[in-house]
Amino acid sequence: MTKKVSKPAEIRNRSRFSKFYFWIIQAVVTIVAVFLITRQNSSENAQTVVKNDAASKPPIPNNVDFMVQVLQKSGGKNICLPNGNIHGTHIDFESIEAINEKVTKILSRVVKTPFFRKIKIDLNRDCLFWENDDVCTQKECSVEQIDLSNIPSKWKTRADFAPISNSPFQKMASKRVEKVSSKDFAVVYDETDTGPEGMWVDLVDNPEKFTGYAGSSANQIWMTIYQHNCFGVSPYMTSTASGWGDQKTGTDQSQNPFVNPPDKKSALAQFLMDLGEEDSSDYTLKAQVPMEFQMFYNAVSGLHASTSTHICYDHYDKEKNVWSPNLGCFIARIGSFPERLRNIYFNYVLLLRAIQKASPFLQNYDYTLSSSEPSKTKQAIRRLTKLLAPVQDSFDETSMFHSKRTLSLLPEFRTTFQNISRIMDCTGCETCKLWGKTQILGLGTGLKILFSYDKEELSSNFDLVDIKRNEVVALIATFNQFSQSLLDIKHFRSMYQKMLFKYETSGKIEL
């Protein structure tokens, strides 16, 4: 017989089941709510941590950010630099890139002409600043001398400064000016001197490149220039300052003489900050000095960077026995000092403006090797100056050395720049000395044009202009060196982009 459950009992059981079911649902809801709240808090905490980490990290210095942009700009654009004007000029980076694309071909042809590829220079002067028995015996350090019989006779006489007949230059033929005049910014070697100390050299056959020179004077030269000849403007320098040898860069040279750039774009900024050895706080000191001295430092710094760029581009790989661009070298030498990289562009503008100002003088100069030879070189120079003519107000030399206070600085400025010419005598590497002295002479000639002559003198009164043949050669050769530096920078950026692509596909870094 089946026992029947009373209705009150059935109701009580249903009530208990309902309460039990309610507790389960309540527990599940509570767990879900706790989970969601915890997840939200975790997300907020994570965001807070990220913000705090970002806030705690030091901001990327502008000079490092500049170098990051140089290496990471896409190769599909005709620029490799950020927007904005080049400091100390009135022109932007993109414009300079565009100008260089137009002039680089004609400029490279000009420097290969017989007139511009030969220069007479003294590579045997004694070092006046310290005892120097440091001599580089490697093949790459030596310079091949041109036989005197291969030099046009008109270059070896003082009359060679007089161009074609009826030219306003002819009054210069009988003039003899001292090697260092009141207008000179560099030590100018007189090619007409018959002394045995000077030698004729072919600049094309002896290019600026990696020599492996790492003597004691390699570092000391640039250190001396920065520490004692930059009016206290230059930042703190270290032993990696040299632009010629194989100096250490904070890496294990037994494994690799240079640094491997990071394989991730996001790591490049921190990498350059770690690599950098100049204290960024020192840059604030520059605003406290006259802009004329700032220009001096920019010129020296840009030359240093350009030299390093050429060395890294034309670098010798001993293991492979080949000459090729070395990205690790570029990162180590330039990545540590992006301020110098910026000043490559400054020097380009400085020389561009000097060539513009001296265009009438340069267009009327006599570039022929003999009186019966038509001057194709003159045609090329006129084409070059025509390409540069549309560039307006890139550099305003009239804003400098015009007040009583700054005008009194001009003699010291000249003397100090001449001093750098003499410091170059202290290197034991002939190739380094050749290009160091040639480019200092080129920059000095540019400064001479900008600050020693007015526009009228360079436009018509050519007989009053004391610019010698080797100064003209050095001016154009140095402008070409900076032009090539801009092309080299673009090439290194392309190498870095390709390296990143290879890493993404293979996981290996190959320089």
In whole angstroms, what is the distance from residue 63 CA to residue 103 CA?
Answer: 28
In whole angstroms, what is the distance from residue 389 CA to residue 190 CA?
Answer: 30
Task: Calculate the alpha carbon distances from 243 to 209, 306, 505 in Å.
Answer: 10, 9, 35
211 assigned to a ligand binding site: yes
In whole angstroms, what is the distance from residue 443 CA to residue 414 CA?
Answer: 12
Tell me, yes or no, if 141 is annotated catalytic. Answer: no
Find, among 399, 435, 199, 412, the residue nearest to 306 by Cα.
Answer: 435
Report the run of H or E that residue 504 belongs to, with start and end: helix 469-506
200 assigned to a ligand binding site: no
* ∠ CA 208-471-299, rounded to 5°: 60
Task: Using DSSP, state whether 339 is helix, strand or coil.
Answer: helix
Crossing angle of the two packed helices 430-452 and 469-506, in degrees rounded to 10: 120
222 assigned to a ligand binding site: yes
In whole angstroms, what is the distance from residue 307 CA to residue 240 CA?
Answer: 14
Catalytic one of 80, 141, 329, 429: 429
Report the run of H or E that residue 201 belongs to, with start and end: strand 198-202
Tell me, yes or no, if 230 is annotated catalytic. Answer: no
Residues 115, 369 contacting (CB under 8 angstroms)? yes
Chain-centre distance for alpha carbon 372: 41
In whole angstroms, what is the distance from residue 134 CA to residue 136 CA?
Answer: 7
What sign does the CA torsion over 31, 34, 37, 43 have? negative
Length reported for the chain: 511
In whole angstroms, what is the distance from residue 253 CA to residue 200 CA?
Answer: 38
* Active site residues per annotation: 429, 432
> Which residues are annotated as part of the binding site for FAD?
211, 222, 301, 304, 333
